[in-house]
Amino acid sequence: MLEALNPQPQDKILQLIAMFREDDRAEKIDLGVGVYKDATGLTPVMRAVKAAEKKLWETETTKTYTGLAGEPAYAAALTGLILGEGHSARAAAIATPGGTGAIRQALELIRLARPGAKIWLSNPTWPNHPSIVKYLGMPLAEYRYFDVATSGIDFAGLIEDLNNVPEGDVVLLHGCCHNPTGANLSPAQWDEVIAVLRARGAVPLVDLAYQGFGDGLEADAEATRKVAAAFPEALIAASCSKNFGIYRERTGILIALGTPERKAVVQGNLNFLNRQNYSFPPDHGARLVTMILEDAALRADWQAELEEVRLNMLNLRRQLAEELRKATNSDRFDFVADHRGMFSRLGLTEAQVVRLREDHAVYMVGDSRINIAGLNARTVPVLARAIAAVL
């Protein structure tokens, strides 16, 4: 049997990680892997997470299974964080292994509920989106999103493409901090997107992986809340990896919004899908998130540290834009300061990206997506000079 298997294509980011580790140059810079790093290059455990873990260690009395959907308190706390008040009567939810697990379960639910529904993805999008859709054998289409010439949004193309979405198809939207471009829709643009999708009878699937990394915890949830309020049905896949810094705990959630009358049936189907894939979801990260969100002091400290993280990335963006302006004597890269979240796509050619790696020990994905959080005040001017050298 196993001799029939063919080699699978290697993940480009994982390849990049391996190449970076093997590079023995002291001044190498890793801008590929999508994790937050502080000025020392460490991905720290947040203060509130450490405090919650200590409390959990002192009070936890069992490691028995949780429910198929995870703990109801987790779903309630995280749904409240994402959507605010007023949706509990129509929100079914399951805990998932990270945001990737939430996306996978969302697609499984779509396939179960509406076989043949096409999944529309932004061009570009997170590479795992099309990978999972194709693996599941689901129809896939793209809508224009990024304008390479301006490093902004091709909004006219986006609207034109969304106006061709057939009724019943699913459109995946990035709730904030678009990955990989960092270019976000404005509130007015979100209103227009929502109006078009409603008129087309499409179903939105929001991927919310970076709440709190862009313009703030509440501001980053605004678009998702607009979607929730505007549509009779919507799916929301969210991750706690970034905003709680618990990457390895694999903590996510899938929220399915429908009518209160159908909530029990939807919840039963979500539970069924968890049972088929991994039975009971992981609980440690979910329990920490619940403890933090339910405890006023822990929540306040978490929000304060999250804001420090956000402001650090904004400062790095501004510094990088300024250093690139000086190094290139142009405003070509000013957009970096306007983008939000961990990522921006610089608009370099693949050959230039290779030269950055080989000549300057700067590692980034082939499409020139960089992780802003991989920088610090010392390495920003180093990067700017290297980019100027390869242009």
Listed in order, the ranges of the chain carrying CATH 3.40.640.10 are 65-294
Among this protein's residues, is 215 annotated catalytic? Answer: no
Q: Which of 95, 102, 126, 220 is catalytic?
A: 126
User: Could you tell me the fold of the domain covering 10-45+311-390?
Assistant: Aspartate Aminotransferase, domain 1 (3.90.1150)
Taking a C-beta distance cutoff of 8 angstroms, is the pair 198, 94 a contact? no
Q: What integer pLDDT is reported at residue 15 of this predicted model?
A: 87
Residue 86: which pLDDT band, with cuts at 50, 70 and 90? confident
CA distance 162 to 174: 15
Among this protein's residues, is 238 annotated catalytic? Answer: no
pLDDT, tens only, 227-260: 999 999 999 999 999 999 999 999 999 999 999 9
CA distance 217 to 238: 13
pLDDT, tens only, 353-382: 999 999 999 999 999 999 999 999 999 999
Q: What integer pLDDT is reported at residue 176 of this predicted model?
A: 98
pLDDT, tens only, 129-150: 999 999 999 999 999 999 999 9
Residue 33: which pLDDT band, with cuts at 50, 70 and 90? confident
Q: What integer pLDDT is reported at residue 12 of this predicted model?
A: 80
CA distance 100 to 379: 31
Q: Which of 48, 69, 209, 361 is catalytic?
A: 209
Listed in order, the ranges of the chain carrying CATH 3.90.1150.10 are 10-45+311-390
Q: Which helix (H) or strand (E) holds 355?
A: helix 350-360
Model's pTM, two decimal places? 0.96
Percent of the chain exceeding pLDDT 90 equals 94
Q: Looking at the predicted structure, is the pLDDT value of residue 383 above 90?
A: yes
Q: Which of 154, 161, 169, 207 is catalytic?
A: 207
pLDDT, tens only, 186-206: 999 999 999 999 999 999 999
CA distance 195 to 314: 31
Tell me the angle at which helices 128-135 and 98-113 cross, rounded to the nearest 10 degrees: 40
Mean pLDDT computed over 279-291: 97
Which tokens hold the place of 87?
Answer: 């949706």
Q: Which of 242, 256, 321, 373 is catalytic?
A: 242
Among this protein's residues, is 207 annotated catalytic? Answer: yes
Q: What integer pLDDT is reported at residue 362 of this predicted model?
A: 96
By mean pLDDT, which of 35-44, 160-169, 285-294 is the weakest?
A: 35-44
DSSP string, 67-127: -TT--HHHHHHHHHHHH-SS-TTTEEEEEEEHHHHHHHHHHHHHHHHSTTPPEEEEES--T
Mean pLDDT computed over 146-175: 97
Q: Does domain 65-294 fall into CATH 3.40.640.10?
A: yes
Q: Looking at the predicted structure, is the pLDDT value of residue 10 above 90?
A: no
Q: Looking at the predicted structure, is the pLDDT value of residue 11 above 90?
A: no
CA distance 383 to 327: 10
- Residue 280: which of 99, 106, 95, 93 has the closest Cα? 95
Q: What integer pLDDT is reported at residue 39 of this predicted model?
A: 87
CA distance 32 to 30: 6
Among this protein's residues, is 190 annotated catalytic? Answer: no
- Residue 257: which of 103, 107, 92, 102 has the closest Cα? 92
